[in-house]
Chains A and B, each alone.
Chain A
Amino acid sequence: MDVHARDPADRIKQLQHCINDLISVLALPAMWSGGEPSRIVQTLLDALLRMLQLDLVYVRLKETGGQTPIEIVRFAQSQQDIAQPHEIGEILEGWLGANPQEWPLLMRNTLGDRDISIVPLGLGLQGEIGVIVAGSGRSDFPQQTERLILSVAANQASIGLQEARLRSEQKRVASELDQRVAQRTTELAVANEELRKEIANRKHAEDDLRSSEEKHRVIVETANDAVVSMDETGAILIANPATRRIFGYDPIEIIGKPLTMLMPEMMRKLHENGFKRYLATGKRHLNWQGIELTAQRKDGQEFAVEVSFGELTSDGHKLFTGFIRDISERKRAEDQLRASERNLQMTQAELARVSRLTAMGELTASIAHEVNQPLTAVINNGSACLRLLANRNLEPEVLRRALEGIVADGTRASAVLARIRAFIKKEPADKNPLDINEVIQEMLVLAGHELYESQVVVDQQLTTDLPFVLADRVQLQQVLLNLIMNAIEALASVINRPRLLLVQSRINESRDVLVEVSDSGTGFDLEIDRVFNPFFTTKAKGMGMGLSISRSLVESHGGQLWATPNSPHGAVFSFTLPAIEGTAS
């Protein structure tokens, strides 16, 4: 279009056309409103190309706010693809300096096979947004109206692009903000979660601590044992309720007082010294785990306790806790147990004695027939002989046969008795090398209760390093216990002099081990060796077998057992056992 048209009609038409184009250009922002820069540019380019019948339109947007530069070119249908955007850009580069103010209004260049007039227009006041370039092969390009439309369009585009840029910037900022918010939110959530976990953990730990403290408190409070803590000075800090039951002190009474008040006088110094030494050297003067000690109650009564100690260092201070168990009952029970064990052993020994007697009784019954047969024959023959003699019926041959029968049957009876004796000796004996002193001491312990009850004073004169004897321990115990019990019984009726029991062991002239059990008892009025006869007894309850059996037991060990009167009172029972090689350690 030619602005300089002379024809007014043409001019009016031209102006109307321009007004229409301007209106279209002004309408462009409505089309691209809210759009991306690329869309704005494309819309603009298409509109200009169509409106001004341009051969090419080119736009280059500068890089802004992280957005990549845009370079777009549009050609008229006829000029399709004669050049790439960057080629146009490179051409323009040479013409267009940095300052749009200095740009030429019009440039001419050859593009393809045509000369093209090119109009550059800055986008933005300083061309800071970019550049738009319109090119046409027409010689009259650009007419005034065309230049107006181009500049208005460039302004419109600048505004749109500005807005778009702003929008995109806002969007970017907003999204960045969103992202930051989201990130922060995530971080917060994580932190929150961690915090919650930590809180939970802490709460858990607190609960644990509380329940553990509670548990410990309950344990200490309800413990059967007294739990008493003291500090480094030995002063009592804590005492649990059991302290009252065990020691008789109210816990409040003893807190702050020295621990030694719970000990008998004689132990206090020992404790103090030991404690001082421990603090100084770390050396313990006694076992800390379950030691048996003597404690003292409020009323002064001493009693057995079992104590365990614990040590705790807190804030540089040492705290000592004692767990004190009253074992006086246990001790009593143990004593009783020992006593009943001794009784049991006594009973067993008695049982062994009785069962031996029973066995002998059965033996007696079973051999009665055997012994009675020859005795019967002897008596029958003897009686018959007496009858014949009374009737003066004296046939020597008849009498001789009868007397031979008597001798044979007498011999037979004695053989039966010998068999019984052999049978008794065949009692299974388990002989081992023994230290006789050990057996003596065992039996004195075993009879300890009876000795104590009967107020017998025991004197042991045992020779050390005695040789061993080869003996059945049980049988030897039986012999010794028998002699000791006999002595106790012999001493029972003694009231006007000490009741003495002397047990001696030594080597005699024959190099045998000799044991003597002497008492200051009643002794024997009778022929002293009769005490060894079966069924001889001076006791009301005795069976009279003890010494007899003891003697056969000693003899079955190759020894001898005999009795002698003691001077001035009582009896001495002595027995020997052959010594064997080796010496008791």
Chain B
Amino acid sequence: MTNAPVVFVVDDDQSVRSSLKFLLSTVGLHVESFDSADAFLRKNLPDSPSCLVLDVRLPGLSGLDFQRELGARKINIPIVFLTGHGDIPMSVRAMKAGAVEFLTKPFRDQDLLDAVRIALERDRTRREHEKEVLILQQRFDSLTSREREVISLVVSGMLNKQIADQLGTAESTVKVQRSRALEKMHAESLVDMVRMIEKLNGPSGRLR
């Protein structure tokens, strides 16, 4: 979040690459361009909001294959596709696979800039969410196994007494373990705790 956003451009045409870089630079965006999918894959991606502006027709790996390849590598970078001619079935496939936009060359500059802005925003949100889940996960990992047990039962809506009965301990013991778990998770309330557990159970979480 602290790092400046980066736009990656992959197009085999040098003129197009440099013109895109120039256009995006006029709105203050940092651009890194590549002439092939392989060249992009060799790059270590920075920990900053980023997106990919990708020509569908590439030598070697096609744009759509490249999109699938990124998915397989768990690289969740938003993609703005560029195509030489409006091929509707191709654009539908790309959008279904999570593309942000599918632009037909030549395109209006504003359309590209809007698409890039949306893509970066989407990536920023995703990154924030992933970061939050990561912190929650670290906190959750610091709980003892008994504290995790107590917390999962608390979240499911059971009362302290019921938990004590189920675990075969005293109600006072449950009370202590519960307050210690909340403290370790930095939860301000039980409601806050439930929200955190839900995040951990979500698509970016590790529970389940």
Residues of A within 8 A of B (CB): 365, 368-370, 372-381, 383-384, 387-388, 391, 393, 398, 401-402, 405, 408-409, 412
Contact = CB atoms under 8 A, between A and B. Distances in A.
A405 B19 CA distance: 8
11 contacts: A368-B84, A374-B15, A377-B13, A377-B15, A383-B108, A383-B109, A384-B23, A384-B109, A388-B26, A405-B18, A405-B22
Contacts of B107: 376, 379
A412 B19 CA distance: 15
B89 to A, nearest CB: 14
B186 interface: no
A381 B84 contact: no
Contacts of B84: 368-370, 372-373
Interface in B106-163: 106-109, 112
Interface string B175-194: 00000000000000000000
B85 interface: yes
Q: Select the residue from B19, B23, B57, B107 with max chain A CB neighbours within 10 A.
A: B19
Contacts of B61: none
A365 B13 CA distance: 18
Given A381-B19, A405-B15, A376 B105 contact: yes
Contacts of A393: 26
A381 B85 contact: no
Nearest to A380: B19
Given A369-B57, A383-B23, A375 B106 contact: yes
Contact of A409 (B15, B22, B108, B109): B15
B34 to A, nearest CB: 16
Nearest to A387: B26
Contact of B15 (A368, A387, A391, A412): A412
B164 interface: no
B197 to A, nearest CB: 48
B13 A380 contact: no
B75 interface: no
B179 to A, nearest CB: 57
A369 B15 contact: no
A376 B16 contact: yes
A376 B85 contact: no
In order of increasing CB-CB distance, the 10 nearest A-B pairs are: A369-B84, A383-B109, A380-B19, A377-B15, A377-B19, A376-B105, A384-B23, A379-B106, A372-B105, A376-B106
B57 A379 contact: no
A1 to B, nearest CB: 167
Contact of B22 (A373, A381, A391): A381
Contact of A384 (B19, B85, B106): B19
B85 A380 contact: no
Contacts, number: 74
A583 to B, nearest CB: 52
B20 interface: yes
A383 B111 CA distance: 12
B11 to A, nearest CB: 8
A374 B106 CA distance: 9
B105 A373 contact: yes
Contact of A373 (B15, B26, B112): B15
A369 B107 CA distance: 13
A372 B82 CA distance: 11
Contacts of B109: 379-380, 383-384, 387
Contacts of B23: 380-381, 383-384, 387
Contacts of B27: 387
A566 B85 CA distance: 43
B55 to A, nearest CB: 9
A38 B109 CA distance: 161
A408 B15 CA distance: 9
Contacts of A408: 15
Contacts of A370: 84
B105 A375 contact: yes
Interface string B45-89: 000000000000100000000000000000000000010110000
Nearest to B17: A377
Contacts of B19: 376-378, 380-381, 384, 402, 405, 409
B33 to A, nearest CB: 12
A90 B105 CA distance: 161
A39 to B, nearest CB: 139
Contacts of B26: 384, 387-388, 391, 393
Contacts of A391: 26
B53 to A, nearest CB: 11
Nearest to A369: B84
Q: Select the residue from A378, A380, A388 with max chain B CB neighbours within 10 A.
A: A380
Interface in B3-53: 13, 15-16, 18-20, 22-23, 25-27
B173 to A, nearest CB: 67
Given A368-B84, A376-B16, A387-B23, 7 more contacts: A369-B84, A370-B84, A373-B16, A374-B15, A375-B105, A378-B19, A405-B15
Nearest to B109: A383
A380 B57 contact: no
B152 to A, nearest CB: 54
Contacts of A398: 22
A391 B26 CA distance: 9
A365 B106 contact: no
A374 B107 CA distance: 12
A365 B90 CA distance: 15
A481 B109 CA distance: 48
B31 to A, nearest CB: 12
A254 B108 CA distance: 93
A186 to B, nearest CB: 110
A393 B105 CA distance: 27
Contacts of B85: 365, 368-369, 372
Nearest to A383: B109
Nearest to A375: B106
Q: Select the residue from A373, A378, A402 with max chain B CB neighbours within 10 A.
A: A373
A16 B98 CA distance: 178
Q: Select the residue from A378, A379, A401 with max chain B CB neighbours within 10 A.
A: A379
A399 to B, nearest CB: 10
Q: Select the residue from B15, B23, B108, B112 with max chain A CB neighbours within 10 A.
A: B15
Contacts of A412: 15
Q: Select the residue from A379, A383, A391, A401 with max chain B CB neighbours within 10 A.
A: A383
A412 to B, nearest CB: 7
Contacts of B13: 373, 377
Contacts of A368: 84-85
Contacts of A388: 26
Contacts of B106: 372, 375-376, 378-380
